[in-house]
Structure 1
Amino acid sequence: MQQEATPDSLFVVMVAENTGADIDEFMAALNETSCQYIGGLFPKLIFDNALIDQGVVVTRLQGLQKIHIARGLAEGNYNLEKHPVALGSDYCVFTLVDGLASGISGFLSELYRSYGSEIRYFGGGAGSLSLQQAPCLFSREGFLQDAAIYCLLNQSTHLGVKHGWEKLGGPFVATKTTANVVEEINWRPAFEVYREVVEADYGASFDSQPFFDIAKGYPFGMVREGTECVVRDPIAVNDDGHLICVGEVPENTFLDVLKGKNQELIAAAEQAAMIAADQAKQPAAALVIDCISRVLFLDDNFQEEVQAVTKALQQKGVQPTMRGALTLGEISSFGDGFIEFFNKTTVVGLFE
């Protein structure tokens, strides 16, 4: 990396969690170089057409202005410096967050207020497939948990965002929530309402299988006017019948229960790649941020999704090798430019 480094280069270092790397030693070696880097631990990685369980994937981005750290996402006790000058669409904020932290949506809202609606936002949630929170982000500032790293880049970025999940039931109202915990739906215990919809379609009871074995195919969709809903992944149910999601669900949000079909999900990922490629001319880097729970749902068929994204980019003349991570939540601006934290979604970013 040192040979290729220039003062405005940013190296995004993605490490598969099963690699067994000593991150402290890894950072010490990186810190001996002159390169500017940020990184994270992820359940799996993507390189070209391959899904990688072990190893490291590095992507070089250009136009680095500055690397920032926000610590304490759960408490919101960070201060984001407001950028003094309005920035246009030739700028991007690339961010990695602790995907299991609460307060991610609040952080992203502050990020949006700091940099505005004209620039692009792109990134994802790091963390372990065990869903046990632990340090998962790293930079020259150290190995971090409950934090976010974000970087301003003077580099044009083109984004495609699609998920492909379809409505099964709803809309319902999330009548009581706390951060990422949905406590009540339509003034009833959340799990009670959710299981009625899901079990009727699935044909078996949650009592017969682990919760996530069924729930991975039935996420929530937070209804958005005029665009795809934003998916929220329920990953557990607690003793009070509350549903724990990856990412916050604001109180009084309208929710649909969604259902997945393999070919629709794969087609949506392909569409995300095509949307990004249709905007780009000669990208220097191609990054895909895809949700680990899409892998868990598609299983062996996820390879088809990777191949569909690669093929779509190649057909549009995109030359850089696709690199990426399977994440705990995906970050992108979409629609009118507002930044959002997604679940179960494919986000393709082309940098030029």
Structure 2
Amino acid sequence: GVVWAGGGAGGNLQSGTTAQFADGQAYRDQAVVIALDAQAPIGVGIQHGWYPYGPPTQVTKAHGATAIELDYESAFEVYRRTAASRGDALDAQGFALFSMTHPLGIPQANGEFVIRDPISIGPDGSVRCVAEIPDGSLIRVMEGARGDLMDAAAGAATLARRGTPGALGGAVVFDCFSRYPILGEEIMDELSRVQGALGETTPLVGCLTLGEVGAMGGGVPQFHNKTVVVLALPG
């Protein structure tokens, strides 16, 4: 079968534009795809370490990456009330810091969640995210501690290793940029745990990405936020 792993290009959060490189040229607004035809299975692991913090709510109005209404109320009001129900006082000024560790999760049929990273509040109380919020979908406010995020990275590496039963030739890690401000210098511990799960002698490369690509449980690839995708290559 076909497995998927990848990530979004970044511009250091400053330029507002990104570039992709292929065949000695630079491109914008493109996707670069590499197809690998291996004689042995290629393993992929995807985990994030975020868990439900609030109850399910329905996206009753959305446009692209913006959730306008949840349960027919302004998205931020529902988000704020969810925080208040857990004893966390929240206003618009504190949103950026709070949302960093409380993203949105879209439930999947297999029990997993595809994560969306909320980044700003609109004047109408809408919540803008990094990637699409499907109109009519269910979402939940999520939470996670540093330990949960590091456990997830190690778990993704373990899943990738299981998918490649023989000797490994190397591995590639796509780790979401938005996890770095949470982990800080502990991101080195996260990478050490990834290396340990793959084997200390396994060559490892990777990058901090603005969104990750992969298929949870196989099937159609999806775009993720605040997630780790590990690709294990056979030797």
TM-score in terms of structure 1 length = 0.62
> 1:190: how far off?
0.9
> 1:142: how far off?
3.3
Matches within 5 A, 1:51-66: none
2:214 alignment partner in structure 1: 332
2:102 alignment partner in structure 1: 218
**Residue deviations 1:232-268, cap 9 Å, x none?**
1111222222211121111111101001111111111
Q: Which amino acid aligns with 1:165?
A: W
Aligned residues of 1:168 and 1:259 also touching (Cα < 8 A)? yes
Segments of structure 1 that go 5 or more residues without pairing to the other structure are 1-88, 90-118
> 1:283: how far off?
2.3
> 1:131: how far off?
6.3
Aligned residues of 1:199 and 1:205 also touching (Cα < 8 A)? yes
Give the distance between the partners of 2:134 and 2:24, measured in 1 at CA.
32
Matches within 5 A, 1:152-167: 152-155=35-38, 156-167=41-52
1:239 alignment partner in structure 2: 123
2:156 alignment partner in structure 1: 272
> 1:322: how far off?
1.2
> 1:202: how far off?
6.8
Matches within 5 A, 1:173-322: 173-201=58-86, 203-209=88-94, 211-280=95-164, 281-314=166-199, 319-322=201-204
Give the distance between the partners of 2:99 and 2:197, measured in 1 at CA.
30
TM-score in terms of structure 2 length = 0.90
Return structure 1 stretches of 4+ with deviation > 6 angstroms.
Answer: none
> 1:305: how far off?
1.1
> 1:134: how far off?
0.6
> 1:128: how far off?
2.6
Matches within 5 A, 1:24-43: none
Q: Which amino acid aligns with 2:182?
A: F
Pairing 1:120–2:3 present? yes
The percent identity for this pair of structures is 32
Q: Root-mean-square deviation (CA), in Å?
A: 1.9
**Residue deviations 1:31-58, cap 9 Å, x none?**
xxxxxxxxxxxxxxxxxxxxxxxxxxxx
> 1:306: how far off?
1.2
Aligned residues of 2:156 and 2:230 also touching (Cα < 8 A)? yes
Q: Which amino acid aligns with 1:187?
A: Y
Aligned residues of 2:116 and 2:129 also touching (Cα < 8 A)? yes
Residues 1:214 and 1:227: Cα distance change in structure 2 (over 3 Å): same
Q: Which amino acid aligns with 2:65?
A: N
> 1:123: how far off?
0.6
**Count of residues in Structure 1 that have an aligned counterpart in Structure 2:** 231
Q: Which structure is larger by alpha-carbon Rg, 1 or 2? A: 1
Higher relative contact order (CA 8 A, sep 6+): 2
Give the distance between the partners of 1:304 and 1:198, measured in 2 at CA.
30
SS in structure 1 at match of 2:191: helix
2:18 alignment partner in structure 1: 135
Greater fraction strand: 1
**Residue deviations 1:197-253, cap 9 Å, x none?**
2355473433444x3222110000001122311111111222222211121111111
Aligned residues of 1:227 and 1:335 also touching (Cα < 8 A)? no
**Residue deviations 1:13-32, cap 9 Å, x none?**
xxxxxxxxxxxxxxxxxxxx
> 1:336: how far off?
3.7
